[in-house]
Amino acid sequence: MTDRRITAPSGNEVAGNEWYKRAVFYEVVVRGFYDSNDDGTGDIRGLTEKLDYLQWLGVDCIWLLPFYQSPLRDGGYDISDYYSVLPEYGTVEDMHELINGVHQRGMKIIADTVMNHTSDQHPWFIESSSSHDNPKHDWYVWSDDDQLYDEARIIFIDTEKSNWAWHPTRRQYYWHRFFSHQPDLNFDNMEVRQAMVDAARFWMDIGLDGMRLDAIPYLFERPGTNGENLPETHEYLKWFRKEIDSTHPGRVLLAEANQMPEEVVDYFGNGDECSMAFHFPVMPRLYMAVRREQRFPITEILAQTPEIPDNCQWGMFLRNHDELTLEMVSDEERDYMYSEYAKDPRMRSNVGISRRLLPLVENDRRVAELLHAFLFSLPGSPVLYYGDEIGMGDNIFLPDRDSVRTPMQWSPDRNGGFSRADFAQLYLPPHMDSVYGYQSVNVESQIRNTSSFLHWMKRMLDVRKQHPLFGTGTFEVLPAENPAVLAYARQQGDDIVLCVNNLSRFSQPVELQLAQYAGRIPVELLGRVPFPAIGELPYFITLGPYQFYWFQLSAAPRSADPDGISESVGEPAAREPGKA
Amino acid sequence: MDATQIIKAAEVALPGWLAKQRWFSSGDSAPQSATVVDQTWIVDGVPGLLWTLMDVDSTSVYQVPIGVREKEHIGPTLLGFPHAHVCEAEIDGKTCILYDGMIDSPLARAMFKVVFDGQQEAATVRPVGGEQSNTSLVFDNRTIVKFFRRLYKGRNPDLEVSIALTEAEFAHIAPVSATWQRGEWDLAVAQPYLFDGSDGWNMAMNSVRDFLRGDFVASSSPQGSPNKIVDDFEDPSKAGGNFGNEAHRLGRVTAELHLAMAKQFDTDAYSASALADSLMRDFDSLTDVERKSMQNLIDRLREVPDSMAGRAIRIHGDYHFGQTLRSTSGWYVFDFEGEPARPLHERRILTSPLKDVAGMLRSVQYAGATGLSEQTETAQDDLAARAESWESYNCGRFREGYFSVDGIETLMPSNQETRDLLLRGFEVEKALYELAYERAYRPDWVSIPHGAIRRLLAA
């Protein structure tokens, strides 16, 4: 297996096993990416055919949503066989080919797995539910009492009335934290614990570089608790990590724990549990900061973000296949997000919002660029969502989350170049409206046009790769009197990048206090244009609407002390008063 | 080193120099004499820093640290600070420059070390702009040291209040981390510098500008014809830069401040006649109609029995946006010196906390009016209503926040009618003060307080 280093040749390289700390991730919905066999549904071979595109863009690691055998009642998160591939996506052979193709290009690939539950069609559940004494009778959580664990909240409040469902054959209730067709596995059973390790190893043997662990806060149930983030869950995850490390070192375990950062950090353990976790609340805060035209929504949430172990990393995102998650924000913020972005009730699903980035920001490319500048420069590894690199739209008239899972728009051709199947055969209709439709928004035309959003994104990723500090450097907010401006410094060794962002829709001035960098020359990173040297006095910058700068603060030969004093006469010695 | 030559030169040059300093305030006439009454070398020699205490015209005392450098080595030190240049002096046969030592980075850092009793050092220093009565320096972007310029015997009120609130663990001030005293004089106070903050004025102005230039989503219904676009312009709570939640939070912090002040200092029953008396004095600047309503307001204030007017406590005394700062961890309040124009003993007078509330309400109105004044004259007519709705909405949110704090009612007049009457009285008092100030210094701005007085008296 190739072990390409993500860092630039000049950088201080991350240990090979910690590649994820500097990687740019790209989330792919296989169904919607590219159809290689003209059946109207994207497939694994289709993705393999498009690997050159992802490499060109600068993606380091692909993240696949579940591709396993499934009745697809929950987008594949209802797995009915961990060892086989959903036939419409392809075969295990196809996965071999995809993974090899990814590695040949120096990239990595991870995939979703679901530990908490299976489909009710999974043979394990069929067996378990068949009697009280079959070999798998306690692989799931069974009870005669549907009031047990009643302190656990119901997650899908729109569709489920209880976390228990009656099974007529076994004549008992089974536990499900999500849909009733997704029975929860019983992690108190040792065989279940091992079964999850076995399934993960199967795919890692083929070459998968890691897994995103879906819905992990809910693995265990205990009376008198809400059944989330229990100590047993952390113990199990530590054991799971140890098992994987013993056979497959350097693989990433990405936690999907949809919680506030101070709770999520528990999933890092002491660097011996998950290697990455998503930072959920940053994303709504970014939107809010742009809307309010002030930095505090962002600095507040960063200040609330605890330190994480050295070998761990946050996953940062602007959009993903799930809606903007509001369950962990305060009431005031939730009301705010609703009123600003989801005035149309159709945009709501469950307790969230199903929108893509560009429609969310009213198709303002300046805002989209600013938000990506944050995504690429705040601490953490950025996770892109397929289609956002060309500014695809959403179709809020499709049910549930399908709004943001429409076919990738490759070209202005029929079906957006996604498939040569008949239109009616497509799993979902591609966008055809006049603003976001594939005839105007597609990869082919944006590749031909160097001023496109796609080319801008590629340039940004190039710049990011040249400065490992974006992944692993320190982060320091800098003083700025103007509340519409957020300025911060990233630093690793002698490499310093100053990021200055204007959250306002108007031009803004800002005076930055950069005396600690006196003598350095700010070099704007997209054009490598040197700016006037920093002195002891405030550094004055003007920013256009939603504009941002990334400056490398390069050390320049010091011609003279900026204030011209201390060099000429030396530092006087201080004395205590009264002792003169 | 012998300081005689320096003192001699400084005493000659200082009266003229002092008159040009923003922090110098001794009435209208230029000072006649400055006499060094105390001095010590903080950095001995040349270059050096001679700290001095100046008696000016035997009426006031100022802190002046004098920097000394050889003229040929002065470099660009003073280029950006021409006002800091005191004079030239011959010292031991060399031509030296005497100047305000506060603007010289190594010397200022030496003073920092003194303030911290030698326990801490700083690598960088910069002055804080826009300050009037003192000189504040920020060290390493982490510590701010305020050097008092005009000194008073006894506790400096800012220091007094800051220390009391630090003891009360009031979370919305920068706690006192060090003080510098010499004899009976309070010379400086050091506090953590809230490097990630923006002052309230900037926060409010960004919101006003956003609202006044608002072309935010017109709520034309998708079904409606495009010819019937309904602008959603006049509701400031729907604007992107909505300041309402911030105003509400600031209101809460203000009430918590007053409760902490009431706990740390003496309190007394407030007498509304004090406010009535203060309004009496400013009668001459009004029209006949205004005078009539004013008399009416005063009469009603005099009718309020002392038992009904709420508590008199130590208050901020000069409360406006410029004294507040929004940081990542919320709102902070600064500068407890009281109104600098008033004599020290008056700044300590106990009074109703509603005076501070009124001060901030006036500041909200100034923000709206300033935003309006930035627009072109033709646009101002159209936007005046919008500025007014921004003001009244945010004043309302501030008040809501303030009165929502548990316990604040213990400081308030016993019924809401009296409370509103007092609040209006304090707003008028503040607006009259503004009117006098604008007439003297910024005649173009007279219409802001004048409009406010008219509106308040009409209510």
Residue B85 confidence (pLDDT) above 70:
yes
Q: Which of chain A's residues have a Cβ under 8 Å away from the Cβ of B125?
A: 515
pLDDT at residue B283 in the model:
62
Q: Which residues of A belong to the active site? A: 214, 256
**Cα–chain center distance at A230:** 24
Q: Which of chain A's residues have a Cβ under 8 Å away from the Cβ of B196?
A: 299, 477, 479
**Separation between Cα atoms, residue B53 and residue B185, nearest integer Å:** 10
**Separation between Cα atoms, residue A507 and residue A509, nearest integer Å:** 7
Please classify residue B21 by burial: count the beta carbons closer than 10 Å to its beta carbon, then call 0-12 exposed, 13-18 middle and 19+ buried: middle
pLDDT at residue B78 in the model:
67
**Separation between Cα atoms, residue A248 and residue A261, nearest integer Å:** 28
Angle among Cα A316, A321, A324 to the nearest 5 degrees reads: 65
**Cβ-based neighbours of A297, under 8 Å, separated by 6 or more:** A285, A286, A288, A289
**Separation between Cα atoms, residue B341 and residue B347, nearest integer Å:** 9
Q: Which of chain A's residues have a Cβ under 8 Å away from the Cβ of B322?
A: none
Angle between helix B354-373 and helix B416-441 axes, rounded to 10 deg: 50
Beta bridge partners of A213: A113, A255
Q: Do B195 and A479 touch (CB under 8 A)?
A: yes
Q: Cα distance from B40 to chain A (closest Cα, Å)?
A: 6
Q: Cα distance from A168 to chain B (closest Cα, Å)?
A: 49
Q: Which of chain A's residues have a Cβ under 8 Å away from the Cβ of B209?
A: 506
Q: Which amino acid is at A167?
A: H
Q: Where are the beta strands (DSSP E) in B261-419?
A: 268-269, 311-312, 324-327, 330-333
Angle between helix B244-264 and helix B157-167 axes, rounded to 10 deg: 90
CB B438: neighbour CB atoms within 10 A?
Answer: 17
**Separation between Cα atoms, residue A219 and residue A236, nearest integer Å:** 9
Cis peptide before B47 (omega within 30 of 0): yes
Look at the alpha carbons of B49, B54, B60, B61 in this order and tell me if their dihedral is positive or negative: positive
pLDDT tens digits, B402-454: 999 999 999 999 899 999 999 999 999 999 989 988 988 889 899 999 999 98
Q: Which of A191, A251, A198, A241 is nearest to A216 (CA)?
A: A241
For chain A, list residues whose CB is within 8 angstroms of any CB belonging to chain B.
291-294, 296, 299-300, 303, 332, 339, 477-484, 504-506, 513, 515-516, 518, 536-538, 563-566, 568-569, 571-578, 580
Q: Which tokens belong to A298? A: 């962002």
Q: Which tokens belong to B218? A: 């017109």
Contact call for residues A430 and A411 (beta carbons, < 8 A)? no
Interface membership of B44 toward A (CB under 8 Å): yes
A551: phi > 0 → left, psi -120 to 50 → alpha, else beta; which?
Answer: beta
Q: Do A563 and B105 touch (CB under 8 A)?
A: yes
**Separation between Cα atoms, residue A461 and residue A463, nearest integer Å:** 5
Residue B387 confidence (pLDDT) above 80:
yes
Identify the H or E element spanning B293.
helix B288-303
Q: Which tokens belong to A241? A: 């990590």
pLDDT tens digits, B332-350: 999 998 877 777 788 889 9
**Separation between Cα atoms, residue B368 and residue B314, nearest integer Å:** 29
pLDDT in tens, chain A (580 residues): 444 433 333 333 455 889 999 999 999 999 999 999 999 999 999 999 999 999 999 999 999 999 999 999 988 999 999 999 999 999 999 999 999 999 999 999 999 999 999 999 999 999 999 999 999 999 999 999 999 998 998 888 888 899 999 999 999 999 999 999 999 999 999 999 999 999 999 999 999 999 999 989 999 999 999 998 899 999 999 999 999 999 999 999 999 887 778 888 999 999 999 999 998 878 878 888 888 899 998 998 899 899 999 999 999 999 876 554 555 555 555 665 555 555 444 444 433 457 888 988 889 999 999 999 999 999 999 999 999 999 999 888 888 778 889 999 999 999 999 999 999 999 999 999 999 999 999 999 999 999 999 999 999 999 999 999 999 999 999 999 999 999 999 999 999 999 999 999 999 999 999 988 989 999 999 999 999 999 878 899 999 999 999 999 998 654 444 443 343 333 444 444 433 3
Residue B458: pLDDT band by 50, 70, 90 thresholds? confident
Angle among Cα A110, A114, A117 to the nearest 5 degrees reads: 175
**Separation between Cα atoms, residue A98 and residue A102, nearest integer Å:** 6
| Nearest residue of chain A to residue B196 (CA atoms) | A479
The three-state (H, E, C) secondary structure of A457-517, written as one string: HHHHHHHHHHCCHHHHCEEEEECECCCCEEEEEEEECCEEEEEEEECCCCCEEEEECCHHH
Interface membership of B196 toward A (CB under 8 Å): yes
pLDDT at residue A211 in the model:
97
Q: Which amino acid is at B7?
A: I
Q: Cα distance from A397 to chain B (closest Cα, Å)?
A: 15
- Which residue in the set B45, B80, B141 is minimally distant from A479, CB to CB? B141
Look up tokens 């004259």; give the residue.
Answer: B377
Q: Which of B292, B293, B294 is nearest to B276 (CA)?
A: B294
pLDDT at residue A350 in the model:
39
Contact call for residues A13 and A2 (beta carbons, < 8 A)? no
pLDDT at residue B299 in the model:
95
For an interface test with B, the pick among A331, A360, A481, A579 (most B C-beta atoms closer than 10 Å) comes out as A481
Across the A:B interface, residue pairs with CB atoms under 8 Å apart total 128
Q: Cα distance from A260 to chain B (closest Cα, Å)?
A: 17
